[in-house]
Amino acid sequence: MTIAKEKTKQVESLTITAPNFQTYDVSITGNAPYVQHAFSQKMKEAIGKGMETGTPSTNKRKKAPKNFEQEFELAKHQSDEGWYGIPCSAFRNAMVSACRVAGFPMTRAKLSIFVLADGYDKQDAGIALTKITKVNNADGEPEMLKSITRIKDTINVVARPLFKRGWEANVRIRWDADQFTATDILNLMLRVGSQVGVGEGRPDSKQSTGMGWGTFDLHSEMFEQERVA
């Protein structure tokens, strides 16, 4: 006689935990100039108008005289309250990029690291800003930097806001503590400050090896405690 064995079905259960977010403020001081380039609303409107009208692009048209002062003003990231800022995305992107040399998957870092806004750009309300708490320039204003840029065979002179070495900011970082420890976050910011940078001419520039701009030192009580330990 054959006895049939009953097969027991095993039911797997999956438990997804809520994200374990933590927030910490990291104070930084620029050890090199910070140069910014906001894509002005004027340029966006001009490009949009060209797309709407279908006007053909040509490099043979006569160019209007360049207004360096206006270009300088439009390149600033400034809040409605009047303070200057650095796009929060600059720090977030830099931290994700630093994961390449730290051996952590960038795809996971993108879902785990965020930078909280102190305010928003008055020219583009969609750009979240980290406030520059100290402008080291004598008058508290960025100075105009005229530099030469090259796009393929075209050489151009551009005007950009430059914040002298010694600028300061307080970066409010929010992260998933199930992916990173507080020490991980501080070490990532340390790598950002020394290896990646923020703004124009940073070491991690997509167009070149940079100008050594946008690097910074950390001044965090938590960081000091970790280093002592």
Structure-model confidence comparison of residues 70 and 208, the more confident one: 70
d(CA 24, CA 183): 11
Provide the residue type at 226 as one letter: E
CA distance 48 to 39: 13
Q: What's the predicted TM-score (pTM) here?
A: 0.82
The better pLDDT of the pair 1, 47 is held by 1
More confident: 120 or 11 = 120
Report residue 207's pLDDT band, with 50, 70 and 90 as the boundaries: confident
| pLDDT tier, 221 (very low <50, low <70, confident <90, very high otherwise) | low
Higher pLDDT, 169 or 53: 169
How far is the C-alpha of 228 from the C-alpha of 213, rounded, in Å? Answer: 29
Q: How far apart, in whole angstroms, are the C-alpha atoms of residue 80 and residue 68?
A: 23
Distance between CA atoms of residues 79 and 192, nearest Å: 24
Q: Which residues of 81-115 are buried (b: 16+ CB within 10 A; e: fewer)?
A: eeebbbbbebbbbbbbbbbeeeebeeeebeebbbb
DSSP state of 195: I
* pLDDT digits 0-9 by tens, 10-32: 777 778 889 999 999 999 999 99
d(CA 30, CA 21) in angstroms, rounded, equals: 28
The pLDDT tens digits for 58-95 are: 555 566 788 999 999 999 999 999 999 999 999 999 99
In the prediction, which pLDDT does 63 show? 67
Asked whether residue 41 carries a pLDDT value surpassing 60, the answer given is: no
Is residue 107 scored above 80 in pLDDT? yes
Q: Which residues pair with 143 in a beta bridge?
A: 162
How far apart, in whole angstroms, are the C-alpha atoms of residue 131 and residue 171? 8
Residue 140 CB burial class (10 angstroms; 0-12, 13-18, ≥19)? exposed
Q: What string of DSSP letters covers 117-130?
A: -SEEBSS-TT-EEE
C-alpha to C-alpha distance for 134 and 29, rounded to whole angstroms: 9
Q: Which residues contact 25 (CB under 8 A, 6 or more apart)?
A: 170, 171, 172, 173, 220
